[in-house]
Amino acid sequence: MFDTDSTDHSTAETDRVALVTGGSSGIGAAVARRLSGSGTKVVVADVDEDRGSALAERIGGAFHRTDVSVLADNEAAVAAAVRRFGRLDVVHLNAGVCGGAELDPEQYRRTMGVNLDGVFYGVCAALPELRRQGGGKFVVTASIGGLIGMPYDPIYSISKHALIGLVRSLGPALAPAGISINALCPNFVDTPLIADDRPFLDEAGIELMDVEHVADAFETVMSTEETGRAWLLQAGRKPEPYEFARIPELPEALDFP
């Protein structure tokens, strides 16, 4: 059920419909605004109802209360998008949380529930609709923590590495259906997620990216024909597909990027 929805206020003419998880804040909110600015109808799916509803109203989209760690919530969000706007073309699986430095099993489950299950379930929920329509695009917000180890937050890094494996595997698997899937791998971005890390980041002289830089990268990834790629994004740089080391003498049949 939608908590809010309203008429379309965008100016550009397009029938494209997008679902953005974690769209109430930070990167997801920036992408939702950007998509809406180019005329896409956006469904914001998040646990934060107040901010999500307010954003949806501002951009002429819709909000659907969604806990991405619950499969049924993902399915309901997809169904709501199709019911409200008639189709689904773009799925930004973006909701995420930190993990912490301790190897705490309960925290592990919470973080994996949002960061990994949330993306896996999001793919499972949206795939039938994209297949039915004959194509579509998934963009997953992973992290640079999916490409390098993070000793100060191993659980987060595990979850983001797993997302890279998911994207690299599903890229070739979904291509015949006209469905692409790519991962955005930003370095640190100025959002509430990293508020607690600010002192460490400032001290280390690490430049934070603005969310608009990530929204630019999202648009770049959306505009390419690439699939199954992890797009590294750093401050002041354009996104570029990360090149993994090749495995020597791997049979050609297994040689995906």
Ligand X SMILES: NC(=O)c1ccc[n+]([C@@H]2O[C@H](COP(=O)([O-])OP(=O)(O)OC[C@H]3O[C@@H](n4cnc5c(N)ncnc54)[C@H](O)[C@@H]3O)[C@@H](O)[C@H]2O)c1
Output the smallest distance, CB 175 to ligand X, in A: 24
Output the smallest distance, CB 240 to ligand X, in A: 16
Q: With contact defined as beta carbons under 8 Å apart, do 209 and 190 qualify? A: yes
Which pair of tokens denotes residue 144?
Answer: 């640079």
Residue 193 sits in the site that holds ligand X (CB under 6 A): yes
Site pattern 197..236 for ligand X (x: CB under 6 A): ----------------------------------------
Which pair of tokens denotes residue 62?
Answer: 């819709």
Residue with Cβ nearer ligand X (86 or 197): 197
Residues 6+ apart with CB under 8 A from 112: 155, 158, 159, 162
Measure CA 254 to chain center: 27
The residue within the footprint of ligand X, chosen from 71, 173, 177, 194 (CB under 6 A), is 194
Output the smallest distance, CB 5 to ligand X, in A: 18
Output the smallest distance, CB 247 to ligand X, in A: 27
Note if 156 is an active site residue: yes
Which run of H or E residues covers position 138? strand 136-141
**Where does this chain touch ligand X (CB under 6 A) — which range of 16-24, 126-134, 167-175, 219-227?**
16-24
CA angle 130, 134, 135 (to 5 degrees): 60
Residue 53 sits in the site that holds ligand X (CB under 6 A): no
Residue 25 sits in the site that holds ligand X (CB under 6 A): yes
What letter does residue 189 receive in the DSSP assignment?
B
In the chain, the N- to C-terminal Cα span, in Å, equals: 40
SS3 state at 143: coil
Residue 239 sits in the site that holds ligand X (CB under 6 A): no
| Radius of gyration of the chain from its Cα atoms, rounded to whole angstroms | 18
SS3 state at 107: helix
67-106: contacts with ligand X (CB under 6 A)? 67-69, 94-97
Which amino acid, one-letter code, is at 98?
A: C
Binding site for ligand X (CB under 6 A): 21-22, 24-28, 46-48, 66-69, 94-97, 114, 141, 143, 186, 188-189, 191-194
Q: Active-site residues: which are they? A: 156
